[in-house]
Amino acid sequence: MSSVNPRALSIEDFTYDLPKQRIAKYPLEARDQSKLLVYKNGQIQHRIFNELSQELESSDCLFFNDTRVIHARLFFQKPTGAHIEVFCLEPLSPKEITQAFDQKGSVVWKTMVGNAKRFKVGEDLTQTISADGQSYELTVEMLGRTQDSFEVKFSWNRDCTFAEVLEDAGTLPIPPYLNRDAEVEDEERYQTMYAQANGSVAAPTAGLHFTQRVLDDLKSQSISSIFVTLHVGAGTFKPVKSDTMQDHEMHQEQIDVSLHALQQMRNAVKTNRIVAVGTTSLRTIESIYWFGVKLQENQGLESFTLGQWDPYELSEQSVSAEDALDNVLAWMHRKELGRLRGNTQLIIALGYTIRLADALITNFHQPKSTLLLLVASFIGDDWRKVYEYALKNDFRFLSFGDSSILFRNP
């Protein structure tokens, strides 16, 4: 790791002035017409996103996050007329997200609750849902409160999965900084075109610019693609309120990667330049690397978990990407696993040494955010130069904004 201590970083050093008019409230009509800022060897160029392949080489390998945003917002009304919003964060029973979405009858979730003072522990609320010409009832029961969330139980009286319940009854959550309600067009435009795995409450927005034309262009130039899954939590919008990062707790997110994708990853790190499409893809592959390092020290680990400071506390011994991934594959073989599933809280900030990725495709992020810390870890203090250029050249910011590709300095 670098001599910089990420625990001592002050978020006040990672801010800039973002005028409200620079926040893109809506996407462009054509996804791949967004601007593309190219940062390479300390220099900045300006392209259009559909020219992405011109910045890449035939040996490059792109990592995509194929998570899909769920209809995480549910609205109930009390007999008194009071409105209660329940925002699904992560499943508690069952805890594994795929099982939770496949569950029938009832599930328990960690949630945020709007107007919570009017929804007491032990109380339940019911709404009638109409779908496919039928009606059924969805009930939410308040089980308890934790420091920053609520535990609730959902129950329904139709033979369908919880994923289907959310599709029928829920609303797509769009970022709060857009200051607008979700609209019909957001159902398509706030999903990547390759989204597959239900589980996120926020889109991996770096992928929103990709169209089939861009993907076909990459494929025609023998640029390879690997799909991984990290389910993005609401914590991605969580502001940093502590004086230093030591006291900021990263949200936990679930990773799900197939054995085949891991084998592809193992082959790619040996011969290819790795390009992470988005901060979530970067956190996924870096988390898998560190799990491999943990296995180097303790092959008897029972599960894949990574705390936010684990990489900074692990042994300083050098473990190659190939060896780390070999450790993970061997662990999966011993356990006869077809998929690697686990949880990560990894924080990537100035002082962190990127282990796998050579380039990062990403949008422009909020001031004082952990995502901006991640960008700084990738290109150092030049993040300021990149953001100043984007502001001066009318780039659009945040989820529906423009894109960049950042190459790590040699």
Residue 144's pLDDT is 96
| pLDDT greater than 70 at residue 237 | no
- The percent of residues in the chain predicted with pLDDT above 90, rounded, is 88
Nearest in space to 339 (alpha carbons), one of 278, 270, 281, 255: 255
- The percent of residues in the chain predicted with pLDDT above 70, rounded, is 98
- Cα 180 from Cα 237, distance rounded (Å): 16
List Cβ neighbours of 264 (8 Å cut-off, separation of 6 or more).
224, 226
What ranges in 81-131 are assigned the alpha helix state H? 97-102
Q: What letter does residue 104 receive in the DSSP assignment?
A: B
Burial degree of 305 (CB within 10 A; 0-12, 13-18, 19+): middle
CATH class of the domain at 6-68+189-407:
alpha beta
- The domain segmentation of the chain, as residue ranges, is 6-68+189-407, 72-171
Residue 314: pLDDT band (50, 70, 90) is confident
Residue 240: pLDDT band (50, 70, 90) is confident
Pairing assessment for the beta strands 60-65 and 224-230 based on DSSP bridges: parallel
**pLDDT tens column, 156-203:** 999 999 999 999 999 999 998 999 999 999 999 999 999 999 999 999
Residue 2: pLDDT band (50, 70, 90) is low
**pLDDT tens column, 331-361:** 999 999 999 999 999 999 998 999 999 999 9
Of the given ranges (38-42, 198-202, 235-239), which has the lowest mean pLDDT?
235-239
What's the pTM?
0.94
DSSP three-state, residue 162: helix
Average pLDDT of the residues in 311-322: 85
**CA dist 409 to 104, 269, 358, 379, Å?**
50, 18, 9, 7
Tell me the pLDDT of the chain averaged across its residues.
94
Q: What is the sign, positive or negative, of the torsion defined by CA atoms of 87, 303, 345, 286?
A: negative
Cα 219 off chain centre by: 25
Output 98-102 pairs: Cβ under 8 A, ≥24 positions apart.
Answer: 98/197, 98/199, 98/256, 100/162, 101/70, 101/161, 101/162, 101/163, 101/198, 101/199, 102/161, 102/162, 102/163
Residue 221's pLDDT is 95
Average pLDDT of the residues in 297-326: 91
